[in-house]
Amino acid sequence: MNEALPDLVAQFTIRHGLFRRERVEAELYELDSYGCVMKTDKVFNPGDTVTLELIMDMPFDKIRAENVQGLITERRKHCSNFFYSIDFADLKSGGDTTLDEKMRRIREVLSKKQSLKSRRSSGSVPGMRHMA
């Protein structure tokens, strides 16, 4: 859990009173078909539910998975922020197929980006020496 996932953020809304709402953007550190790990300074408790919008912003396309229901299962404090483990409830029960498809596409693009990044970081130095 060293770096945030590239080009992927989670957005959610927090209510402050009756009429005031705040739109919050948080970084994601892990994502799989069962849940994610999110980092934010907002306080939640295990057992709380949150409705996320996962946004993968790329140069030619933006993939949005809206209304992803999550159950907060764990909270870890790190400095002034919290890492939350979130389980996706709707995706396990086989609910909305368009949401499932968008989540699958996000995970697919994310794994390709991470594999390219790891290949670039591990193979770039010896390749440059070989060229010189």
Is 130 strand, coil or helix?
helix
Nearest to 37 by CA among 85, 72, 77: 85
Return the higher-pLDDT residue of 2 and 57.
57
Supply the pLDDT for residue 81.
92
Supply the pLDDT for residue 123.
55
* Residue 66, C-beta contacts closer than 8 angstroms, at least 6 positions apart: 53, 99
Is 119 strand, coil or helix?
helix
* CA distances (Å), origin 12, targets 5, 38, 51, 118: 17, 11, 6, 30
Is the model's pLDDT at 131 over the cut of 50? Answer: no
Q: How does strand 20-31 pair with strand 49-57?
A: unpaired
**Could you read off the pLDDT of 59-85 as tens digits, one per residue?**
788 899 999 999 999 999 988 899 999
Give me the residues paired with residue 62 across strands: 57
**Could you read off the pLDDT of 34-60 as tens digits, one per residue?**
999 999 999 999 999 999 999 998 878
- Range from 3-12, 22-31, 35-44, 115-124 carrying the lowest mean pLDDT: 115-124
